[in-house]
Structure 1
Amino acid sequence: MNVRRRNLSVAVLRGAVYAMGGFDEHRDHRTAERYDSKTNQWSWIAPMNTARSNACAALLNDKIYFAGGCDGYNVLDSVEVYHPDTNRWTFVAPMITGRANFSFVAFNACLYALGGHNTTSSELSTEKYDPTENKWTKIPSMDAYSSDLNAEVMNDKIFVIGGYYEANNFGVKCFNDKENRWYQLPNMNVFRCLLSICVIKNLPNASDYS
């Protein structure tokens, strides 16, 4: 990359990898860059409005939404969106709660902010963003507070895995938006935080794993 980054966020949009924000032992970055696998090159895109590390990125409607994190002094509630056609970042409505080290996923045309912590609490509400109304609303709590967790969407549900929980970090939960409720799933065999998870689509034997 063009600069060193840790605690950054990444997203894949239109076949390119975007690396945004992060920290380099001296400062939080507001810069962002894009990797083109065809040319094997990183190139700068427009810088963000706010420097952020420990933030989260998610894709929705062919745009990158970048939310929360830290600016070196404060935990942020602000959210900005990158428009690839204009190479511009613009702010949208801030989250109800500032948060860092959380998980952020797109699900059924909305964005969900899950878990995390801020300077006053690690017991944060769960909330979702509707871009048609530019509004955040609270949804039912996960019933366990966590940071450094990860979430993915599979089989029309949100799965939240691992993280620093109140009691342990073996936990797995899933959210069913049709019922507007969370379900506790069997725990992992090993406790994990600061983990990464992914969904591999179109496996011919997917039912063996679900």
Structure 2
Amino acid sequence: MQIPRDQPAICTLIGKIYVTGGRRHNMMTDSEGRSAISEGRSAITENTVECFNPETNQWTMCAPMKEGRYWHSAVVVDGKIYVLGGQGDNDKYPWSMERYCEETNSWEAVDQMHTSLFNLNCVSLRLRKDHVCISDDDDYGCHNGWWD
């Protein structure tokens, strides 16, 4: 990857691996060349997105998300990547969901969740049509154009 990060959300689309958001820590290098997180420095919440193509063994940058987030989730539904929830700067917990179109390399805001969630997991299920199902320790819901 081009940007070292922790707590991103990762998914696959059309045989490629997408890494979304996360946090980037200020790093320092000691006298022996080892990297470590700088003490007393805050992390930067990323809105960047990187794509790994296993066929070419290369990482490329994609369009950034509209909102930086970490401890969020990413899932693919109908050939588009959805990211939702997570945590942002200043202990902000986004209620938002964004959708990425690989063909146009662009993000758009979609529905708002009824509650903010972070450190969550998503999976796309084929029920009667695609639903994005999310869960955390206490609750779950499905999205099919609105939150139930």
Q: Normalised by the size of structure 1, how large is the TM-score?
A: 0.59
Off by >4 Å, runs of 4+ in structure 1: none
Residue number among 107, 113, 116 corresponding to 1:89 in the alignment: 107
- Please tell me the root mean square deviation across aligned C-alpha atoms, in Å: 1.0
Write out per-residue CA displacement over residues 90-124 of structure 1, whole angstroms, 9 at most, x where no aligned residue. 011111110100111111210011015xxxxxx4x
Write out per-residue CA displacement over residues 60-81 of structure 1, whole angstroms, 9 at most, x where no aligned residue. 0011000000112211110001
Matched, 1:71 2:85: no
Shift of 1:88: 0.6
Residue number among 32, 42, 62 corresponding to 2:59 in the alignment: 42
Take 1:128 and 1:95, find their aligned partners in 2: how far apart are those partners?
Answer: 10
1:50-129 pair list within 5 angstroms: 50-73=67-90, 74-108=92-126, 109-115=130-136, 123=138, 125-129=139-143
What amino acid does structure 1 have at the position aligned with 2:132? L
Q: Which has the higher contact order (CA 8 A, sep 6+)?
A: 2
What amino acid does structure 1 have at the position aligned with 2:71? N
CA contact (8 A) 1:16 1:36 kept: yes
SS at match of 1:5: coil
Shift of 1:12: 0.6
What amino acid does structure 2 have at the position aligned with 1:77? W
Q: Identity of aligned pairs, percent? A: 28
Take 2:15 and 2:125, find their aligned partners in 1: how far apart are those partners?
Answer: 20
Residue number among 118, 132, 135 corresponding to 2:146 in the alignment: 135
Structure with greater proportional strand content: 2
Take 1:44 and 1:3, find their aligned partners in 2: how far apart are those partners?
Answer: 10
Q: Which residue in 2 is equivalent to 1:15?
A: 15
CA contact (8 A) 1:114 1:126 kept: yes
SS at match of 1:136: coil
SS at match of 1:97: coil
What amino acid does structure 2 have at the position aligned with 1:105? V
Shift of 1:87: 0.6
Take 2:73 and 2:19, find their aligned partners in 1: how far apart are those partners?
Answer: 11
Alignment gaps of 5+ in structure 1: 117-122, 138-210
Take 1:37 and 1:111, find their aligned partners in 2: how far apart are those partners?
Answer: 26
What amino acid does structure 2 have at the position aligned with 1:60? V
Take 1:105 and 1:85, find their aligned partners in 2: how far apart are those partners?
Answer: 22
Shift of 1:3: 0.4
